[in-house]
Chain A
Amino acid sequence: MVNPQMVMYEEEFNQIQAVVDRLVRDANAKVVFIVDKNGQLISASGDIDNVDTTSLASLTAGNIAATGGMAKLLKENEFATQFHEGEKQNIHIQLVGNRVILVVIFDTRSSLGLVRLRVKKANEELNHIFEQLLKKVQEPGADSPFAEITDEDIDNLFND
């Protein structure tokens, strides 16, 4: 496979969640979430009950993929930052370590300057955490929890 398996453990998850929770407060954001480049939601914080984070995650990844495609055509490495300005709400998208995507949704209670500043710090912290996580995943002996599943387990999923 081209990419190693994406795995999330409790320790790293808590570290990531702490960064995301803090970013919501520090940036006066509505919602902050992290998505991997394939569109899987990793972590979210803020007013998440009122947004469809699963759909947003998938669309964000599509957006980053399309922008990455444009970058390639222009012989740029990546466009690491994107900003979408709406009438009431704005979205700031930051690529972290070319691996995951940090999304901040904010309204008039905050400003682009503040969000940029806070995202920069969070970006460094997240980059570090994901590097550690990647090392851990690549260590030998990290068995898949699915190594033991049987055909019966799989069949049972479909007996409805």
Chain B
Amino acid sequence: MSFINYMAREINCKLVYYGPGLCGKTTNLQYIYERTNPEAKGKMISLATETERTLFFDFLPLSLGEIRGFKTRFHLYTVPGQVFYDASRKLILKGVDGVIFVADSQIERTEANLESVENLRTNLAEQGYSLDKLPYVVQYNKRDLPNVAGLEELREMINTTKVPDFEAVARTGVGVFDTLKAVAKLVLTELRKGG
């Protein structure tokens, strides 16, 4: 649920990166953080364990510029991917405006991807959202690894509703901004309808 502030002439939106454990959600945010001008970003916060696994969420505030005199600000969140952090994942989806599903392209993660996308659908439904109505994009990450599934195969499995999708290597930044821009566009288009 976006927040329009007429006083500050600002519009704030919340984007959530979802996906199985170790698929690269935090890496997406880290790359965006590294490659964004200091004046356009705030501090990146990671609530992680000692072994750098996300415990609660990562948070990165970004400013994208102005539309019709309104500053557009996006708050990027990741969820903890590990299965047993489901209670936390539900909380982070509250008030979401757009979702990025980050899939791990490796063949051995097929089941984890499917489980996670199903979990996303269920958790959204619990909050009263439908994944089919929400601005939503898919990213196939880790395309540089040798043991990855074919693109068409992944599409068929994960992107059944045929939303915009992107191949990525989050570690080096391939596809990271394309994914972000695509979901940001969908969110802004949704606002035009009156959100």
Chain A residues within 8 Å of B, Cβ to Cβ: 1-10, 13-14, 36-40, 42, 52, 54-55, 58-59, 62, 65-66, 68-69, 143-149, 151, 153-158
Chain B residue nearest to A4 (CB atoms) is: B1
Judging by beta carbons under 8 Å apart, are B95 and A158 in contact? no
Give the interface SS of chain B, mostly helix, strand, loop or mixed: mixed
Contact of A40 with B57 at beta-carbon distance under 8 Å, contacts A144-B194, A146-B67, A157-B65 already known = no
Judging by beta carbons under 8 Å apart, are B185 and A39 in contact? no
Chain A residue nearest to B194 (CB atoms) is: A144
In whole angstroms, how far apart are the Cα atoms of A145 and B188 in the complex? Answer: 12
Contact of A38 with B94 at beta-carbon distance under 8 Å, contacts A54-B42, A62-B57, A153-B68 already known = yes
A58 shortest CB reach to chain B, Å: 5
Judging by beta carbons under 8 Å apart, are B67 and A144 in contact? no
Among B11, B45, B95, B184, the residue within 8 A (CB) of A146 is B11
In whole angstroms, how far apart are the Cα atoms of A6 and B75 in the complex? Answer: 15
Give the interface SS of chain A, mostly helix, strand, loop or mixed: mixed
Task: Determine the interface band of chain B, counting residues with CB < 8 A from chain A.
Answer: 35 or more
User: What are 9 pairs between A and B in contact, CB < 8 Å?
Assistant: A6-B3, A10-B7, A54-B42, A54-B43, A59-B45, A65-B94, A144-B191, A149-B67, A158-B185
In whole angstroms, how far apart are the Cα atoms of A65 and B77 in the complex? Answer: 14
In whole angstroms, how far apart are the Cα atoms of A36 and B12 in the complex? Answer: 12
Judging by beta carbons under 8 Å apart, are B45 and A55 in contact? yes
In whole angstroms, how far apart are the Cα atoms of A151 and B14 in the complex? Answer: 21
The count of A-to-B residue pairs whose CB atoms sit within 8 angstroms is 137
Chain A residue nearest to B191 (CB atoms) is: A146
B158 shortest CB reach to chain A, Å: 25
Judging by beta carbons under 8 Å apart, are B12 and A40 in contact? yes
B128 within 8 Å of A (CB atoms): yes
Contact of A55 with B43 at beta-carbon distance under 8 Å, contacts A145-B70, A147-B192, A154-B185 already known = yes
In whole angstroms, how far apart are the Cα atoms of A62 and B14 in the complex? Answer: 13
Judging by beta carbons under 8 Å apart, are B7 and A13 in contact? yes
B162 within 8 Å of A (CB atoms): no
Judging by beta carbons under 8 Å apart, are B11 and A9 in contact? no
In whole angstroms, how far apart are the Cα atoms of A42 and B8 in the complex? Answer: 10
Among A59, A65, A158, the residue within 8 A (CB) of B181 is A158
Judging by beta carbons under 8 Å apart, are A58 and B45 in contact? yes
